[in-house]
Amino acid sequence: MKDEVFKKNPHSTLGTPSSRKGHRVVVTGLGIISPVGVGREEFWKNCLRGASGVKPIQRFDVSSYRSRLGAQLPEIDFKAFIKPANLRRMDRIGRIMVSAVRLALDDSGLELGKEDPNRMGLSFGTGLGSSDTVDQFFRSLLRDGPTGATPLLFQTAVPNAISSHCSIEYGFKGVNITFSHKETSTEMAMAYACHLLREGRMHVILAGGGDELSEPLHHVYSMLGALSPGKGKGTEGMRPFDQERNGIVLGEGSGILVLETLEHAQKRRAKIYAELVGAGMAGSTDGLLRYDLDGDSIAQAMSLAAKDPSAVDHISASANSTPDLDRAESIAIRKVFKERTKEISVSSLKSMIGEFDGSGGIRACAVALALYHGMIPPTIGTQNPDPDCELNVVLHHPLKRQIRSALLNACSNGGSNISILFNRYVSS
Amino acid sequence: MRKRVVITGLGVISAVGNSVPEFWDSLIEGKEGTKGITVFDPSSYRIKIAAEVSGLDPGSHFSKKEIRRLSRCDQFGIIGFREAWKSARLDQSPVDKRRTGVVLGAGSGGILSVEKYFRDFYQGSGRPSPSLLVSYSLATTTDLIAMEAHLKGPRSTTATVCSSSSVSMGVAYEMIQMGLADVMVSGGSDSLCEVSFSGFSSLKLVDPESCKPFDKRRQGLVIGEGAGILILEELEHAARRDAPILSEFLGYGICADAYHLTSPEPNGEGVERVIKIALDHAGVDPDEVDTINAHGTATPFNDIAETRGIKRVFGGRAGEIPISGIKSMVGHCLGSAGGIEAAATTLTLKNGIVPPTIHYEVPDPLCDLNYTPNHSIKKDVRVAISNSFAFGGNNACLVFGKYSSE
């Protein structure tokens, strides 16, 4: 019956018999708009030199808060990426995401005119998408009552507006999905995209995510005591695995990966940064604002992702400078890798770009670049490594190292844990 | 080979019933769920109605402390989950909690609580409780459900608003296919709040009287709320523990219109594509589809585009397929719409009754299909689809089948 359906339906997702075994999925383009650089080259150069994106927040008034730092994006000329007529209907996060997709497409060398738009998809992760627009909408509603509810703001305020902007801008008619699950939003988007590509249901999926700093978000995190040093002691800042770590600094930006089936990439002779192998996931239930405290679930996610832990050379840690997560992730890594732990180069890019729900896209771009170049970006800000976090952390200076496999970890407070395995691309 | 996935449990909270039996009885009777809004003060709005959940006493489900901490959306989700979990007899079978996960769809989530906070904060009236802010994340209800039953499998939340909970079931299905879970809790929960109400009102997409899908007099949606929670389970796992099997999840499709931020593609091309993708994924021929649970928001454009899309897929047979627009009764529940409608679709398959589209009086020449007007019909249904379309042209379609062991 399935073969008949396939003949009748040009949109068939069943694919050819060979594809049913599963396609290999590769990373062929990177689009990055980050606090430490826009575009792959600038971003990577700054990552390797350990640049910090963390600065006093300028975009809104933080004078009434104890925590005043954020990893903000530089001023960006969006006209360089988006036609002026289209810019008008997008809010700031929409512009950031559409621009990151543009950068990723340019980097991949994909010629959209030659692609089947039905097989081009988007899979995004974000905390709230347009958190600034939601706030504007709400304030104007409070001020003016029902007449303050402006349709233009409302239509861009929904979390899936960013993926809609991108599908409209580039004409992608395939899968279009948005995840919002705190700090694991983007990793889920990549895991889902990888699965669809493996099954041959799409040829290309732009996967990744993004978020923006906004005053209500800063307020919420501040009131919940998550910001450094909202509750903790000492000075503010990101310092994963440090004894004095005392909370997060919020960041913003977007990272997009062009994921495609190896077959499709080879056909167009694409440059391949890395192979996306798969994901492991596990949940913990220690509390709504708690990370996995004993590291069991983080360990399980890593074990499910890395079927051969002996090939893992690098872990891009989820460690975000909070006392609980950095310790739990360290326990989890030691649990999985045991005596090999010291051979694994661990680094947290969040030390440079801050913490945000959609950060996984930028972090994944860095993992792909680390595999491609054989260089691991350092963790910055950390002065006195915590003995409770006994790991081989790449501190202050980049490390030159050929990596066979790398794990990208994501852990959310509330207890979702995802680990994604990338391999150095080897044709075989 | 793909694994077969079945639905083994349901839980529903809606404007027409706060349990599955009550919800189903109301649907087949064609009960109206629209009423005056009490969740917030609607007096400054032109439109003052919604399909609000009523008759639900939080005190009989939660302690006082819990009621203070849980948003309305969380409460619906947890109550719906408890019903689903119990009806799947998961409270009686030992399951591996590490292989049991939760993927829910979210709409406005706990924004009602966050609204309360920021209203006080911006207007400087008193010191609002930061605990209201926990609902700021769309993931909160999902995490709470996982905590409720100590579920340690994969966990995520989809955020495509009006199609979220349909999309979440597709993702939950893939968690099972990826070998990461045997059992997945899916669907969604959402509650009324002023932000979404005023937003839809500002777009002039809300009907001041009632929700009249496919009727010529339709003026738009009526916002609803509630939860629709489904238990998706790998067939062999369900069979091993002798679970009740309500329907089979055959497949799904997700795609984009790539057309406009709020309007659907007018010719139904996006609707056609998503139904075809879903049927194809399910390995079902269009001729096998016996009923359609429509998105049917009753906005002027949606209903035309959906009708056109259905005709494009089913051709001459389109007029014979009974279509249900249950939003006429439960309203548009945004983040839980797909879950509630998937529950209705499953019950249609199980009971052999297609629920009606109520308030259907004046036919629209542009919507000329069989919408099961006003009265439910008996029909042996073997395959049913459920459509969900969201802002920005985010389309989803789910395919369910009557379970048979062959």
Residues in CB range of B43: below 8 A, 6 or more apart: none
What positions of B carry a catalytic annotation? 162, 295, 332
Q: CB–CB of A13 and B123 under 8 A?
A: no
Lowest mean pLDDT among A189-203, A226-240, B222-236, B381-395: A226-240
Cβ B277–A165 below 8 Å, yes or no?
Answer: no
Which residues on A lie below 8 Å from B174 (Cβ)?
A: 192, 195
Count Cβ–Cβ pairs < 8 Å, chain A vs chain B.
249
Of A141, A219, A283, Cβ closest to residue B194: A141
* Closest-approach residue (CA) in chain B for A186: B156
Determine the average pLDDT of the residues in A155-170: 92
Is A9 at the interface with chain B, CB within 8 A? yes
Of B154, B202, B273, the CB nearest to A11: B273
Per-residue confidence band for A428, with pLDDT thresholds at 50, 70 and 90:
confident
DSSP assignment of A27-40 equals: EEEEEEEETTEESH
Complex ipTM value? 0.97
Residue of B68, B394, B395 to mutate, interface with A, max A Cβ within 10 Å: B394
Q: Which residue has the tokens 């064609």?
A: B30
Can you tell me the distance from the alpha carbon of A24 to that of A275, in angstroms, rounded to the nearest whole number? 8
d(CA B323, nearest CA chain A) in Å: 23
CB contact under 8 A, A172 and B258: yes
3-state helix, strand, coil in chain B (%, to 5): 40, 20, 40
- CA B248/CA B345 separation, integer angstroms: 11
Q: What is the mean pLDDT of the segment spanning A257-281?
A: 98
Contact B46 A149 (CB under 8 A): no
The whole-angstrom separation of Cα B53 and Cα B51 is: 7
Residue A2 sits at the chain B interface (C-beta within 8 Å): yes
CA dist A191 → A167, A175, A184, A302, A410 (Å):
20, 14, 11, 13, 12
What is the rounded average pLDDT of the residues A32-52? 98
Q: A303 touching B, CB under 8 A? A: no
Closest in A117, A181, A191 to B139, CB measured? A181
A102: three-class secondary structure by DSSP:
helix
Would the CB atoms of B285 and A4 count as touching at under 8 Å? Answer: yes
Residues in chain B within 8 Å Cβ distance of A11: 273, 276-277, 280
Assess contact for B226 and B188: CB atoms under 8 A: no
- End-to-end Cα spacing for chain A: 34
CB-nearest to A178 from B134, B160, B175 is B160
Confidence class for position A14, pLDDT limits 50, 70, 90: very low
Cβ of A282 within 8 Å of Cβ of B152? The answer is yes
Set of chain B residues whose Cβ sits within 8 Å of the Cβ of A126: 159
pLDDT in tens, A343-365: 999 999 999 999 999 999 999 99
Q: Is the pLDDT of residue A81 over 60?
A: yes
Per-residue model confidence (pLDDT) at position A231: 67
**Whole-number Å distance between alpha carbons of B116 and B110:** 10
Tokens found for residue A343: 């051979």
Is residue A10's pLDDT more than 60? no
Q: Measured between alpha carbons, how far is B200 from A146 in angstroms, rounded to an integer?
A: 11
User: Could you tell me how many residues make up chain B?
Assistant: 406
pTM exceeding 0.80: yes
Distance CA A215, CA A209 (A): 20
Rounded mean pLDDT, A8-37: 74
B175: which chain A residues are within 8 Å (Cβ-Cβ)? Answer: 281
Local mean pLDDT, 10-residue blocks, chain B (406 residues):
96 98 98 96 94 97 95 97 98 95 90 83 79 88 98 97 97 98 98 92 93 98 98 98 98 96 92 98 98 97 97 97 98 97 98 98 98 98 98 94 89
**Which residues in chain B have Cβ-Cβ distances shorter than 8 Å to A297?**
152
Is residue A1 scored above 80 in pLDDT?
A: no
Taking an 8 Å cut-off on Cβ atoms, the answer to whether B276 and A156 are in contact is no
Task: Report phi then psi at B386, rounded to 5.
Answer: -130, 125
Give me the pLDDT at residue A152, please. 84
pLDDT for res B280: 97
Q: Is A161 on the interface with B (CB under 8 A)?
A: yes
Task: Please classify residue A398 by burial: count the beta carbons closer than 10 Å to its beta carbon, then call 0-12 exposed, 13-18 middle and 19+ buried.
Answer: middle
Instruction: Annotate B9-44 with b (16+ C-beta within 10 A) or e (fewer).
Output: bbbbbbbbbbbbebbbebbbebbbbbbebebbebee
Question: Residue A164 and residue B194: Cβ atoms within 8 Å?
Answer: no
Q: Tokens 């002779």 sit at which residue?
A: A269
With a pLDDT cut of 90, the percent of chain A lying above it is 83
Q: How confident is the model at residue A368 (pLDDT cuts 50, 70, 90)?
A: very high
A150 touches chain B (CB under 8 A): yes
Cβ distance of B139 and A9 shorter than 8 Å? no
How far CA A225 is from CA of A221, A229, A289, B144, in Å, comes to: 6, 8, 10, 20
Q: What is the mean pLDDT of chain A?
A: 93
Residue among A168, A173, A179, A172 nearest A123 (CA): A179
CA A25 to chain centre: 18
Say yes or no to pLDDT of A6 above 50. Answer: no
What does the pLDDT read at residue B386? 98
The CA distance from B288 to B386, in Å, is 14
Q: Do B199 and A223 touch (CB under 8 A)?
A: no
The secondary structure of B337-388 as a DSSP string is: HHHHHHHHHHHHHHHTEEPPB-S--SBBTTB-S---BSS-EE---SEEEEEE
Helix or strand or coil: residue B1? coil
Mutate to test the interface with A, among B152, B169, B383, B389 (most CBs of A within 10 A): B152
Comparing CA positions, the residue from A26, A102, A101, A28 lying closest to residue A271 is A28
Cis peptide before A229 (omega within 30 of 0): yes
- Does A372 reach chain B within 8 Å, measured CB to CB? no
Whether residues A151 and B258 touch (CB distance < 8 A) is answered with no
Query: Which of B156, B168, B279 to mutate against chain A (most A CBs within 10 Å)?
Result: B156
Alpha helices for A109-252 (secondary structure H): 131-144, 151-157, 161-170, 185-198, 215-223
Q: Select the residue of B118, B257, B261 nearest A138 (Cβ to Cβ).
A: B118
Picking from A133, A162, A179, A187 by the largest number of B CB atoms within 10 A of its own CB, the best residue to mutate is A179
Q: How far is A57 from chain B (nearest CA, A)?
A: 21
The answer to whether the CB atoms of A288 and B46 lie below 8 A apart is: no
Closest CB to A176 among B133, B198, B256: B256
Q: What is the pLDDT of residue B132?
A: 85
CA pair distance B166, B316, nearest whole angstrom: 27
d(Cα B193, Cα B142) in Å, to the nearest integer? 19
The pLDDT-based confidence of A3 (bands split at 50, 70, 90) is very low
- For residue B321, how far is the Cα from the chain centroid? 21
From A155, A188, A285, residue closest to B261, measured CB to CB = A155
Helix axes B111-123 and B194-202, enclosed angle (nearest 10): 90
The pairs formed by B197-201 with CB atoms below 8 angstroms and a separation of 24 or more are B197/B37, B197/B40, B197/B42, B197/B45, B197/B50, B197/B223, B198/A141, B198/A146, B198/A149, B198/A154, B198/B45, B199/A137, B199/A149, B199/A151, B199/A154, B199/A157, B200/A154, B201/A146, B201/A149, B201/B45, B201/B46, B201/B47
List, as one string, the DSSP characters of A49-90.
TT---EEE--SS--TTSS--EEEPPPP--GGGTS-HHHHTT-
Could you read off the pLDDT of A106-140 as tens digits, one per residue?
999 999 999 999 999 999 999 988 888 888 888 89
Cβ A388 vs Cβ B128: under 8 Å: no
Asked if A120 has any chain B CB less than 8 Å from its own CB, the reply is no
> What angle is formed at CA A148 by the lines to CA A143 and CA A151, rounded to 5 degrees?
150
CB contact under 8 A, B134 and A289: yes
pLDDT at A342 exceeding the cut of 70: yes
Closest alpha carbon to A55 in A321, A323, A319, A250 = A250
